[in-house]
Amino acid sequence: MQINLDQFLTTYSNESIPQAIRDEIEAILRAEWPIKLKDKNIPADWDVTHHIVLSDNTGVLSYAAIVRKNLSHHSQTYNIIGISGAITRPDQRGKGNGRKVITEATNIIKNSNVDLALFNTAQVGLYEKFGFERLPEAKILKGNPTNPEIYPEDVFALFISEKAKGHRKDFETIPIYFGQRVW
Ligand SMILES: CC(C)(COP(=O)(O)OP(=O)(O)OC[C@H]1O[C@@H](n2cnc3c(N)ncnc32)[C@H](O)[C@@H]1OP(=O)(O)O)[C@@H](O)C(=O)NCCC(=O)NCCS
């Protein structure tokens, strides 16, 4: 999809994204969020379904990944989706680039055959602009399942399926064990 004469918004699958673009994104992500060696690999139960890349002739401007997994919560299994690694190159922030990528990510999520979007973020005020709901009472747990830690960032959701809508209260009131890591 062409945005204007200078920018291109491209959505790749995990199989089709060129290695050079993957490397460029990785460098932008790691400058923002250095990663521990043990967390280098994507957990086996996550699928990275889309890489959304806004670029121009200087390279990648802004990026987000869409990730999916199954989540067991209060005797139910949900097909959940989220946005991971949303980032704009530091010299390109505050110019509407992130908005283009997150708008595309939101459209993909809304058109996905999943139960709900669920993720954490510390960027309060950002995802509300795209229709995601902050769940102020919700708690996401991660790490050791027998002694998990509460992940300190706010929880955001978009309830999509009738099943997820019907169990909304479970997400709001019962701590959600997400897995070893959050996305
Ligand atoms: C968050 C981030 C991706 C936004 O990208 P950006 O290109 O600067 O965003 P835009 O200029 O397109 O702004 C989009 C909208 O979000 C708002 N916004 C941008 N950053 C925000 C933030 N951190 N918190 C709340 N709102 C924010 C803008 O005001 C703008 O609103 P408007 O379009 O209604 O005026 C970018 O600041 C970034 O890479 N931050 C560091 C990495 C990070 O924290 N990522 C988020 C992980 S959840």
Instruction: For 90-140, write each residue's pLDDT tens digit.
Output: 999 999 999 999 999 999 999 999 999 999 999 989 999 999 999 999 999
Does ligand 1 have an atom closer than 6 angstroms to the CB of 30? no
How many degrees, rounded to 5, is the angle at CA 117 between CA 123 and CA 54?
A: 60
DSSP sequence for 145-176: TTS-EE--SEEEEEE-SHHHHHTHHHHHHS-E
Does ligand 1 have an atom closer than 6 angstroms to the CB of 90? no
Q: What confidence score (pLDDT) does residue 88 get?
A: 98
Q: Find the farthest-apart pair of alpha carbons in the chain and give their distance in angstroms, rounded.
A: 53
- Residue with the larger pLDDT of the pair 65 and 5: 65
Does ligand 1 have an atom closer than 6 angstroms to the CB of 106? no
Place of tokens 């790691």: 30
Instruction: For 43-98, write each residue's pLDDT tens digit.
Output: 989 999 999 999 999 999 999 999 999 999 999 999 999 999 999 999 999 999 99
- Give the strands of the sheet with 149-150, arranged side by side: 149-150, 140-142, 176-179
Question: 4 pLDDT exceeds 70?
Answer: no
Does ligand 1 have an atom closer than 6 angstroms to the CB of 103? no
Neighbours of 3 (CB within 10 A): 14
What spacing in Å lies between the alpha carbon of 54 and ligand 1's midpoint?
Answer: 14
- Rounded distance between C-alpha atoms, residue 78 and residue 43, angstroms: 17
What spacing in Å lies between the alpha carbon of 126 and ligand 1's midpoint?
Answer: 6
Reported confidence tier of residue 8, pLDDT bands at 50, 70, 90: very high
Reported confidence tier of residue 40, pLDDT bands at 50, 70, 90: confident
* Residue type at position 66: I
For range 159-180, the mean pLDDT: 97
Nearest-atom number in ligand 1 for the CA of 93 is: 8
Please give the domain boundaries of the chain with CATH numbers for all domains: 8-179 (3.40.630.30)
Q: What confidence score (pLDDT) does residue 41 get?
A: 84
Query: CB under 8 Å to 139, separation ≥6 — which residues?
Result: 150, 151, 155, 175, 176
Q: What confidence score (pLDDT) does residue 2 get?
A: 52
Does ligand 1 have an atom closer than 6 angstroms to the CB of 62? yes
Q: What confidence score (pLDDT) does residue 124 get?
A: 86
Does ligand 1 have an atom closer than 6 angstroms to the CB of 29? no
Question: 38 pLDDT exceeds 80?
Answer: no
What spacing in Å lies between the alpha carbon of 49 and ligand 1's midpoint?
Answer: 22
- Rounded distance between C-alpha atoms, residue 134 and residue 157, angstroms: 7
- Rounded distance between C-alpha atoms, residue 107 and residue 105, angstroms: 5
Does ligand 1 have an atom closer than 6 angstroms to the CB of 94? yes
